Structure 1
Amino acid sequence: MKKNFLTIIILALGILNMILTAVIVFAVVPTTMRTNNLISKVASTIDLELESPDANDPNQINIADIEVYQIPEDLTINLKQDPGDTKSHYALVSVSLSINTKSEDYKSLQPTIATNQSSITEIINDEFSKYTVSTVTENKDKIKSEILKKIQEHFKSDFIISISVGKLVVE
């Protein structure tokens, strides 16, 4: 009788083991696979962000191919008045242009920058004067992009690649 009882216990444990193995295969393994896929996606996203997207860009301009043209004098610009403000506000701005020396238009248009300096300063004045003393520093990047776009339209070329505002003093 002892042998029969022991055989029944071993048989019951074997069946229980088989049931638990089936539960693991059909319930736990698919969840683990989905979790593993999610972890793989997150890891691949992190790896993509570590690589610079501009590193392999053929349109990226080498720093040695950039010439800087400094507008000789600082510009004093009247700013738009805030509603209810009677005091005049000004911005003192130092601007320089970054020029691509490898551009097709560089040789023909670079000498004309000095002769068009009054037009460039007018574009800068017009763009800065659209803003009030409280909003000019918040919108500095927007102002720079608008100035760049208008200067590129003026020269009908994109040989000027960026605008730098070195000094911006607002009162």
Structure 2
Amino acid sequence: MKKNLLSIIILALLVVNIAMTGFMLLSVMTTNSQTAKLVSDIAVALELEASGGAGGGFALEPSEPAGVNEIATFGFVGNQDRLTINLKPGSDGKSHMMVVEVVFSMNMGNADYATYGSSESLASMRDLVKSIVTETLADYSMEELQQKEVSQEARSKIVEKVQELFNSNFIYDVNFSSVIYQ
């Protein structure tokens, strides 16, 4: 009888031990995954490569060119290529439109420029880039886009989305010209 009671106590302790081990494992794994995510976010913010890279882990290609001779442009200019964008209603409650010419600046010194910067490659992505510009600017009202800070924010969002599209930072800036609000 004593042996059976001792076996039951040992079995109960084993079950408690397994439960506590499982709880500790889950809490450690959750903390570990949160730490890994934090490290990944910091690495992205610092533009570190996951593999460390040949240059000590930092991105090898600068986004902005070293000189004016390394700048190329691409965009939607001229009467046929101007973008007409429906803006969100402003404080007056009316919908407004924006007619704009958009010019992207590209770094010819970036290694990805040889791949993506060719006229054929840009022509094939033209509609996707136009869609990004249209969708981003449509989130703003006319009054907002007339403010310098908000306009700069919209430009930054467009550049980020285009860089995500190409998975490269060879396009580093966007400018608006011939802006007409209606």
- How does the TM-score come out when normalised to structure 2? 0.58
Kept in 1, the 8 Å contact 2:65–2:107? The answer is: no
Large movers: runs of 4+ above 4 Å: none
- Which residue type is aligned with residue 83 of structure 2? L
Is 1:89 equivalent to 2:96 in the alignment?
yes
1:14-50 Cα distance to aligned partner (Å, 9 max, x none): xxxxxxxxxxxxxxxxxxxxxxxxxxxxxxxxxxxxx
**Which residue is equivalent to 1:120?**
129
Kept in 1, the 8 Å contact 2:72–2:105? The answer is: yes
**CA drift at 1:82:** 2.7
**Which residue is equivalent to 1:40?**
none
Is 1:108 equivalent to 2:95 in the alignment?
no
**CA drift at 1:61:** 2.0
SS in 2 for 1:165: strand
Partners of 1:61 and 1:92 lie apart in 2 by: 32
Kept in 1, the 8 Å contact 2:65–2:71? The answer is: no
- State the percentage of identical aligned residues: 25
Is 1:80 equivalent to 2:88 in the alignment?
yes
**CA drift at 1:161:** 1.3
Is 1:155 equivalent to 2:160 in the alignment?
no
Is 1:131 equivalent to 2:171 in the alignment?
no
Instruction: Give the number of aligned pairs.
Output: 113
**CA drift at 1:149:** 0.5
Unaligned runs of 5+ in 2: 1-61
1:65-112 Cα distance to aligned partner (Å, 9 max, x none): 001113241100000013661x32100110011111111111111131
**CA drift at 1:154:** 0.5
SS in 1 for 2:106: strand
SS in 2 for 1:76: strand
**CA drift at 1:164:** 1.1
Unaligned runs of 5+ in 1: 1-56
- Which residue type is aligned with residue 120 of structure 1? V
Partners of 1:62 and 1:84 lie apart in 2 by: 45
Asked which structure has the greater CA Rg, the reply is 1
Is 1:71 equivalent to 2:79 in the alignment?
no
Calculate the aligned-residue CA RMSD, in Å: 1.8
* Cα pair distance change 1:77/1:154, threshold 3 Å: same
**CA drift at 1:166:** 1.4
Is 1:168 equivalent to 2:179 in the alignment?
yes
Partners of 1:140 and 1:83 lie apart in 2 by: 17
**Which residue is equivalent to 2:30?**
none
- Which residue type is aligned with residue 101 of structure 2? S
- How does the TM-score come out when normalised to structure 1? 0.61
Q: Which among 89, 95, 106 is matched to residue 99 of structure 1?
A: 106
